[in-house]
Every structure is written in C-alpha cells, then in structure tokens.
Structure 1
Amino acid sequence: MTKTSHIDAVWEVLVLYYKNSHGQNEVNQIKKKTLVPLIIFLLGICLVSLIVYKTDTHEKEQRHITAQLNVATYGERIKNEITNGIEITDTLKQILISEDGEIHQFETIAGNLMSDSIESVQLAPNGVVTDIYPDNGNEAGKIDLIHDKDRGKISRYARDNHTIITQGPFKLKQGGYGIAVRNPVYLKDKNGHEYFWGFTIVILRVPDIFSDSISALSNFGYEYKISKTDAPWSDTYKVVYQSDGQTNHPVSYTFTIGDENWKFEVTPKSGWRNATLLIIIIGMFLTISLLLSVLTRVWLVAKEHKKKFQILARTDSLTNIYNRYGFDEFAEKIIQKNPKAHFVAALLDIDDFKFINDIYGHNYGDRALKNLADSMKAFFPSDALLGRNGGDEFCILLPNCTFKEADVQLQQFTKLPKSFSYHGKEHAFYISLGYAEYPTFASNRSQLMRCADAALYEIKLHGKNGCIAYREGLRSGARKQLGFTFKDIAEHLPGAFIIYRADKEDDELFFANDEFLHMSGYKDIDELFRLTKKSFRNLIREDEQQQIESSIWEQIDNGNENDYIHFHLRKADGTYFSVLDHGRIVASPQYGKVFYVLFMDWEDMHICYNDKFAR
C-alpha cells in the first residue's frame, strides 16, 4: 500500500468516526481548521518565493550587464596592450624595409624598445633566428623557425599568408611564461619582385603584458580567463592566463590579432546572485513560516497529534505496514462498507524463519521481514490492505477481487525471489501462502481469515514454499511444532559439528556448535570465523590440505554423500590435534550444497574404544 493511499485510508476512517459521533458539521469544522492555515501558509510561501525569484532575476541581469561592460572595456584594453607589444615588430620591420634588409646597431635599437613586459627582441632572416636582445641567457633561442618541429608549421603559415602569428604560452627559461609574436617581413628585389626576408620577433611576458587590466578586474571582484586559438586554422582555445578561481557561466569578449582569435571571459567572484539580499529575503521567509506555524499550532497539537497516534497504534514499527490490530480494523470496515463485493484474503509466513534467526541472529531475521514487507508493497496494487499479524506471519486483503483473478497474482508473488543481505552476500528465503475468497467461503472477516489460515496450514503440511487456495474440507489446525529449536539441538547434541558451503573454490563456514568450539579451543564463533577467515580449508593442517580436499571431492564425485576423513585440525592456539570427521553433503534451498560435518577426537576415540573392548 502506498504512503498516499495509507494516509487517505486513515483519513477516511477518521471522517467516518466523526460522522457517526459528532455529525457532518463537526467534520466540516475539522476540515476548515486544517485547510485555512494551510492555504495561508502556502500563499505566504508563494509570495516570498515570487519576491525572491524577481529579486534574484533582476540582480543577475544587472550583474550580467555590468560584467558585459567590464569584459568589453578591459578586453579591448588587453587587445591594445598586446598590440602595443606587437608594434615593436612593426618598428623593426619598417627599419628593415627602409634599410633594404639591414639593421645597424640592433642592440641599441632593441634596448630602446624594451620594457618590463618584453622578454626579448629577435631577428630571424630567412626564418633562422640570428640576433637576440638581450643575448645573455637567450642563446638557445637561435633556431630555424621554418623547419623546427614545434614552430615550423605556424611559422610557414605566417610566411605564406603574410600575417602576424602568436604562439604560446610557453615556459621561459628565465622563469614565468611568454608568447612569441612573429611578424613576416617582405622586401623587393632589383626587378621589383617581392621576396620573404624573414621575421621580426618579440617575446611578450605573460601576464606582465596585460597586468594593468587584470589587476583592475581583480580589484573589482572578478575571476577571469584569457585564451586564444592554438593556431590560425584551429577552433580549439588554449588558456593563456587565468585567475585562481573558477569562471562559472562567464560573459566573454572576443577579438582578433592577425588570423588568431582571442577570448576574454569574466565572472563575479561572489557569483551572479546577490547572496546578501537573498539571505535577507530567506530570513523573512523563515520568520513568516514561524509565525504561520504558531497560528496553526493549536490545530496541530489538538488534532494532528491525535491522528498521528492513531496511525502509530495501527502500524507495525519494523515493516511500516499495518499491525494485526490495524489490519483487522480496516479490513472489517472495508468489508462492512461493501458487503456484496468480492474479497480475497491471504496469510503467508517465511519458511524456516527460526533457522534464519538462529543462524544469522535476530537482526538479520528482521531484515528478512522488512524485505518481505517491502516486496509486498512494491508488488501488490495500492488499494491492497497489507498487514503483519506478528512474528513472520503477514496478511493481505485484495478488494474487488475473485479467486480466479487473485490466483495468478498470488502464485507470482510466492515465486518472486526474496532475499536478505548478510555480510555483503544475498541469502534467499522462501514463503508459504494460503488464501480464501469472500463471500464464497466466508460470511465475515473473521471466518475469511480462518479459511486463509487453513489453506496456509495445508501448504505447510505439503512441503512449504508454495501457494494454495482454500477449499471445502480444510481445517485450520493448531500448527504444532516438535518443540525443539535449532539452538537447542546445536548446544546439546553429543558431538562437535560444523556447517560449511560445499564449493571447491569458495568454501565458507556458516556455523559451529559449542561442542566444536570447546574441543578446538575457540572462544566463540566470531573468533573461529576471524582466525580461519570463514574457510574450512584453514582448519586443516597446511601439508594435508590438498590431499584432504582431493579425498573429499573424489568421494563426492563417485556418488558418495557420506564420507569419513582423518586429518589434523587446527586449534585456536595454532596447534593441531588428530580428528576423524564424518561429513554429509546436502542440498540447501538457501545456500545450494552444504556439508554437515561431525568431528571426533582421534586419540579420545581410540582410548574410549580400547577401554570398552578391554572390558
């Protein structure tokens, strides 16, 4: 049953109660006391949400407008600052053109052109760098740009397309980063034909070349990023320089230098929202909510608490479905309200639930119960009434449903895989289910449930793990038990035994009784699991492991379900003693094939039998 239908059902019962005891007018008063404060509360939320939305939208628009103006202004400044650095190459170019490809006193001219944002000035006749200022520390820069592996392609592009190119940023040997600007120079020969002379080059320091602009932007509270295309023919941008923070949803300004595109992006450090203003408005919202809560306090205390306690009194705390009291009450009311309709009631429980509790503990038994309830809620329609009678017994009421309509559904649910998790592994469990139809076999709810109980008892008598419908002649007997629990047998059986998974590759210890723990010196089963890593193999002396395992599986493969093995068993203190084990392999519905193994102390057994025969 879904949460919504659950609450609706409770509300329907409350309405029915007040109709009978206080009349329709009282019901209307309850609805009024509930709905009016709720409407006021929702209107207050809507009003504040609208104010927050409008204010936030306006603030973001204003910040975008301001940021767009700043990015355009400082983007243009950055372009001019880079262009000013590039003008050095134009100055050298004009000198070369006027002096017919010669520059006299290069160091003097370059020294006058230098600034703090310039790393070096270079000349590259025929694309080969020959002159660098300052020369000290830049000797390695004298390379053939046209044929260089990293610089050749872009340098040839500048030469062939008569355009300035920028390359970088790259790490400078002197520290920091730089961008290389290469300006191709063309001269005319005696016949007036143009020819490629080489490059005038300037290395710009990053971010020194545009430090004034980014410093101003940082002071204004912006994160920024400057990037350029990898090459004139590329659409991929490479970051030239950026601030430490992230530029989320930035506004941008693009510009072109030569044939390359540059992009300048900015984002307010505090984001696009006015956080202070929003906090004030949210504070107003919290204040309004508090005031509205006070106004509705009387109804909440007087009415809501009462309804909550009624729900809790009818709900099973472990599974969050109806308990026996709640199920019986609602089932009675539903059938009385529609006495001519058809209903199907089902009772089900977990097969060998006591085994789960004894082996894994009650916490994992509770997990199995909760998983079963969750699978019921997921499988059955929302109008189905679900309950837990107690222990591992559950009940279902399907309204407007006949035996034929319910049969397939209940059979499918019975066969649906069910499991609980234990130490990271899923362990399957199974259910038995009996069901009956109203009014075919019963005239009231109590009789209907007794018929379902009789059907459940019948399936228990015929092997469990199944689903059966009630038929004439079945009787709801007292489901007697032998009176022994697994724990009783395990603790008082006159012998030491263990249970483990029968798997050649992945054997796993499941259980050891107190007799075995005492005989082998383990404090408790947790210590046994820890020292053996839950593996039967680790109970066998190392030099015997392969032989013993081979002997066990040889007998199994030959069709023997029982075997006797003699080996040395590891005690808790690391010593070994001689044992004879009698093992039997069986099929378990939960774990597949498992070994049940009974142990006898080899020495004690010989002493005992020798004494008997001697007498």
Structure 2
Amino acid sequence: MNSRKNHNKKLMLPVLIFLVGCLVLTVVLYHSYRSNYKQVRNVTALNATTYAERLQNDMNRGVAITDTLEEIAISENGKIDNFQKVARDLMADFIQSIQIAPDGVVTDIYPEAGNEAGKIDLMHDESRGEICRYGRDKNIVTMQGPFDLKQGGQGIAIRNPVYLEGADGSPVFWGFTIVIIRVPEIFTESIQALTKFGYDYSLTKTVSPLSDDTEIVSSSGNIMKNPITFEFEFCGSLFDFEIMPADGWSHGWNVFPQLFLGICVILLLTGLTVVILVIERHRDTLKKMAITDPLTGLLNRKGFDEQLKKVMQGDLHIHCVGIQMDIDDFKFINDMYGHVVGDAALKSLAQDMQSYFNDNSIICRNGGDEFSAILVDTTEEEARKKIEQFTLQPRHITYNGGEHPFYISLGYAEYPKDCEDVSELIRCADMALYAVKLHGKNNCSPYRGAYKMQHRSQLGFALQDVSKNLPGAFLIYIADPENDNILFANRELIEFAGCRDFDDFLDYTDHRFRNLVHPDERDSVETSIWKQIDAKTSGNNDYVRFHFAKKDGTYLPVLDHGRIVENRYYGNVFYVLIMDCALVESYYDNKTGLETVPE
C-alpha cells in the first residue's frame, strides 16, 4: 500500500513539474512579448525623434533659400538684381518656384513659365492675406499648405518677411521672399530611409499658424495601430509625425523558437537560466541605448548626470573640473560642407575627448555641437595644461578630397572652488565658454567669479566681429559708480590706451573705467555722466570731455559719447565711444556744445 502511494506521488511529480513548467513558460512567453514590445517601441521612439529632426532639416533647405534672398535684399537695400539668375542658381528638384513679393505683391517668379498666375497681391488675397499679414506683423517665417499645384502634386508655401532699416533706424517692412516646396518630394531621402528600415509613417500639419485644421503632408498609406507620435513646431505650423513597424508591434518576435526553448527549460532546468540571461541582456541593451548618444557613442546628458551622481555619492569633497565646449561656427560647417561632414567633425571631437580625458573622467554630448566633461579628482591647476593642449591642437575635416580645419572653444571651472554645488559646475564652465566666444573663439578660459549665472545667447558672439570694424574706440562697462567693471573693449581702444591686448588692458585699468580718467577729473566726470543720465536731457546718452589716461603715463583730451542700456547678463551697462579731441577739432571748426569737465 505504502509502496503504491509512493509510486503515485512520483508519478505526480512529473505532472506537477510539467504544470509548473507550463505556467512558468506561459509567464516567460508573455514577459518576452512585453519586453520585445517595449524594446520595439523604445527603438521606434528614438527613430521618430531622429527622423523628425531629418524632416525639419529637409524643410530647412527651403527656408535657407528664403534666407539667402533676404540677405541679398537687405545688403542691396531692397533690390534683388538679376533675380532670375539668382533664383536659377538656388533652384533644386524639390522646389516648384522661387518668388519675391515687395510690399506683399508677387512681382517676380522663377521659373516664369507656368507660374504667371502666382503674381498676386498676397496681403489682400482671400486665402493668403490673413497668414501673410500675420507673418509680417510678427516678423516670423510662416508655412501654408499643403495645397494642390496646377502643375500637379502638392506644395507648401514658405514666406519669409524681410525688414530693412529705416531712416530713423527702425525696421521697415520690405516684402516677402518666398519658396514653394513640393511635398512629399522634399522628404524623398528621409522617407526612403525610413521605409527601408521597415516603418509605416504619416506626417500631418496644421494648414497655417492661424488654423487648427490639419492636412496629410506625406504618408505610407497604411493604417497604423497605436503609433509613436512625435510633435514639433516649424515656421509656426504644428506637425504630427507618426511611425510604427510595418509588420506590427510584434516585430522581431516569433513564438515558436521560444516555445521550443520553453519545453527544453521544462525538461532541462538549466535552460531556464539561459532564458533569464537572455532577458537580462535585453534589459542591459535597452538601458545602454537610453544613456548613450547614437552618433558619437559618448554618454548622453541623462547618462552623464547618472555617472556624476554616482561619483559624488562616494565623496562630496572630491575636487572636479567641469568642461563645456562646442565647435566654432558649426552651422557654417553644416551649411558649407553638409551634415555628413558636420557629423564627422562631431565624431572626431568625441574621439579626441576620449583620447585626452578617458582616465577617471565623465564625457558626454549634450546635443548639437555641445559637449561636456567632468575630470574627477583633479584641480583646475592640474588640468590646465592638458585642457589648453586639447583646445589648440589642429583638427581637420575632409571634404571632396581636401582637408579643412575646424576649431573649438572651451570653458572650464573647478568644484568646489567656483561653486558650492557640483550641479552648478557645468553652468560655470558654460559661462567661461561664453567669455571665450565673446573674445574671439578658438581658445579656452577658466571660470571667473565675476560672471553671472545666465543662459548665454549665441547673438553675443558677433560682438567681436562688429566692434572691431567700428570707426572709433569703443568699450562697454557696468553702469555702477561703485563697480564700473569693464566688460569689453575693441582693438582701437586697446591700442589708444597703449596696451598689447585685452588682457593687458584689463590689468592696466584693474578692470575699471574710472582708471582711464585723469585722477583729478574722475569725480567730476562721474558726476557729469550721472547728472546727464538722471536728467535725461539727451535720452539715455551722455556727453563729456576728459583727459584719457594712457598706459605710458601721458594724458590725451578726449570726447566721450556714452549710452546706458539694459543688458540681460549684467543689468545696466554703458556703451561708450571715445574720440580724440585733437583729431575731431582738426576736422570741425565749431565747438560741439559738449559738456566739458574743467581741466
């Protein structure tokens, strides 16, 4: 009896193992499906972001043509001579026509044949007037369409409002530069690449910035179920970009091999370990993809922050050097040589960073041409030489068989010397990078405590180019009697002061405008300036004479024309032109009526 009971129990054991195995297999298969589903959606989401950027880059080719015409119109004071020749040179296979519309009236179209009906008054046209007036009043590039073209197919109108400088210095509306792009032809390369990788897609947009109605711009034509959606705005219109695998969300997942593996797991318990390892490997791959920049192989910003957090959890008092850098004139590289060459420059810089800073460092690409690095367990003094060598080493890109140099600018800061929280380290380095840009690019600089923590503006980088061509000595300093810190001086002022360069000039003046004035006149000059500013007799301007203190100990009488303005980084600042009195008076017999500080 007992022997039979034991025998029956043993017979139940294989049944129990089979039932448990079936249950485990069911769970494993479901988990595998869900894991594959998530993986496919994550990869699809990454592709949606990537191809949405490519679609925007495609449309930017049309916008770039209107920008070129705008630059010509501005440089020629509203005239575009030889429009047909210029437009012919700018023509591409995705463009239906190129137009200009002075005062909102289309006067010239290329090609003319077949497009004569396009010469209309845009501002008063029933279907175009409202959006054209909106673009003019807001001074923004607008898109309208898609709409049917008389030549067949569909197009989208890109209209760029152009403003000239009026006699009083205020902007005056000139008209529009216009490109009609053909869709989906403009997206041909991007769409072919997308479909080649096995994706269905749909791209829709609002017909204009003033309408919520949407139109399909391009589509694979297949019905999509629960697609990944990426929304973006371009030229005032909202775009929805939807994609999904053409063979569904079970893409790459086949139940039969896993079912066979599951049966093997039931028979051989060791097979279960293999399945677990495979699943874990999938998880690790997805995690690595989430924190890695796909172009350069460096960490992305998310991975960078995670690594930095781990380092600082180990020792909050460890010294670190934060680095922020970018490629000088990277947009020019992309525009001149193409994005493939631009990507090559990014990869080259990433490889250099890994070569120079790989030991005990955290390196990432923030996006675009911006890179960050944290050198762990080192100080600014220890890292300075290596940073300088890295910044100034020659770099080249290859285009059409020839080598072309490119350069970088770099700012760096030290924790805890320059900031109390390591999270502020990159922001300090970014402000140092901005200072490099302001002083001519292609260099590196440590962070200085006088910098204010603000987001830098790319427009500020043009100051060096503009100021060096001003017809006179020019400087900028903080409008504060107690802290008249000099922020900038052009080359002519530096030479007028008898200094070698800007750093020598700052050392000589101790960074203060006050030290450029004769000691006996400093108080009276300052009083005169603020008296004029407070009285607003000349608006925000002030005019004053004083003796300019040169580095060699001599003094020259000068005219000072200053203007106080509000600056987003430093608050109120003075923009000042300095003119040699002797030079001015040699050309003008009459006195100017400027207020003169007694000599």
Shorter-chain TM range is: 0.3 to 0.5
Q: Which has the larger radius of gyration?
A: 1
What is the TM-score when the length of structure 2 is the normalising length? Answer: 0.40
TM-score by length of 1: 0.39
Q: Which has the higher contact order (CA 8 A, sep 6+)?
A: 1
